[in-house]
Amino acid sequence: MFDLSGRVAVVTGGARGIGKATSTRLLEFGATVVIADSRLEAAQQTAGELGAGASARQVDVADSSSVRALVEAVTAETGRLDIWVNNAGIVEDALALDMADDVWQRTIDVDLTGTFFGAREAGRYMVQHGGGAIVNISSIAAYRATRPEHHVAYDVAKIGVAHMAKVLASEWAQSGVRINAVAPGYTNTDILKDVGSSNPEIMQAWLAQIPQGRLLEPDEIAKVIVFLVSDAASSITGQVIHADAGFTAW
Ligand SMILES: NC(=O)c1ccc[n+]([C@@H]2O[C@H](COP(=O)([O-])OP(=O)(O)OC[C@H]3O[C@@H](n4cnc5c(N)ncnc54)[C@H](O)[C@@H]3O)[C@@H](O)[C@H]2O)c1
């Protein structure tokens, strides 16, 4: 049911964090995995660590020609594309009244537009070749205004990628392409440093709001993604799975 043998997967932002954990699990279940990241050396290092079945490629998800070139290279080399995880993302903490234009634009370019470029280019191939599974990575920040940190550009990008999954699932339902979203809670990765995880007061404030009283580990998100791209989830498309230790439950 969870066997991914023979399938080809691309994980954007796969060099570290949730993307690396996802690549690790996809490999474990038999897929060939392309770790696609803006930091090529880091992606190569991760691919080397993960071993047989993993390879690295550079991509800037905010640049449609770069995303298109990635799809072309992967499909030319392997003859298929079955799984695409739109995981690459950035966040910059800023109050709205202080948010510089370029912070807004960069965040929207990578997190929202980059996810669309990935879905569109992977989806184009999958629609033409009989199917596939795509996962967009949303966030708790799409569903609740986070406190004490603020990052409106990130939050609206993340609700955008969740709704994008619904809209594209509807467009592609007859083509065998499924697209879903996962909305993780606070997860123990480097990106959390960008919103204050090294500040003990901020960490305390987060823990007090999380029903399970803990940060998630990247592998807990990876396992949900593996489920969604596997045949076990054949009936699931256009959904958002909240993997957040209860954060949005009440
Ligand atoms: N960690 C959390 O608490 C959390 C919570 C909710 C959602 N998320 C989301 O999960 C995803 C993964 O986050 P993470 O915590 O693993 O972060 P991370 O910073 O550890 O990893 C992000 C990866 O994306 C890559 N990347 C950044 N910009 C890119 C671009 N333009 N093109 C290609 N690659 C690019 C980075 O080089 C990095 O390897 C992100 O979309 C993030 O918003 C994270």
Task: Spell out the domain ranges in the chain.
Answer: 8-241
pLDDT of res. 250: 80
- The CATH class for the domain spanning 8-241 reads alpha beta
Asked if the model's pLDDT at residue 183 lies above 90, the reply is yes
Of 41, 155, 189, 198, which is best to mutate to test ligand 1, by the most ligand atoms within 8 angstroms of its C-beta?
189
Q: Whose CA is nearest to atom 30 of ligand 1?
A: 60
Tokens standing for residue 212:
């399970």
| Span 26-81, pLDDT tens digits | 999 999 999 999 999 999 999 999 999 999 999 999 999 999 999 999 999 999 99
CA of 101 to the centre of ligand 1 (A): 21
Instruction: List the catalytic residue out of 125, 143, 154, 186.
Output: 154
Amino acid 111: pLDDT: 98
Is the shortest distance between the CB of 89 and ligand 1 below 6 Å? Answer: yes
Confirm or reject: Cβ of 14 under 6 Å from ligand 1. no
User: What is the C-alpha to C-alpha distance for residues 27 and 205, in angstroms, rounded to an integer?
Assistant: 36
Long-range contacts of 205-209 (CB under 8 A, 24+ apart): 205/147, 205/148, 209/147, 209/247
Q: Is 43 in the pocket of ligand 1 (CB under 6 A)?
A: no
Closest CA to 146 of 210, 224, 90, 100: 210
Out of 109, 112, 191, give the residue to mutate to test ligand 1, the one with the largest number of ligand atoms within 8 Å of its CB: 191
Is the pTM higher than 0.75? The answer reads: yes
CA distances to 43, 57, 67, 228 from 113, in Å: 22, 20, 11, 22
Question: HSE-up of 35 (CA within 13 Å, CB side)?
Answer: 32
Instruction: Mark whether 154 is an active-site residue.
Output: yes
Say what the pLDDT of residue 194 is: 82
Mean per-residue pLDDT over the chain, rounded: 97
Residue 11 Cα, ligand 1 centroid: separation in angstroms? 11
Structure tokens at 215: 């940060």
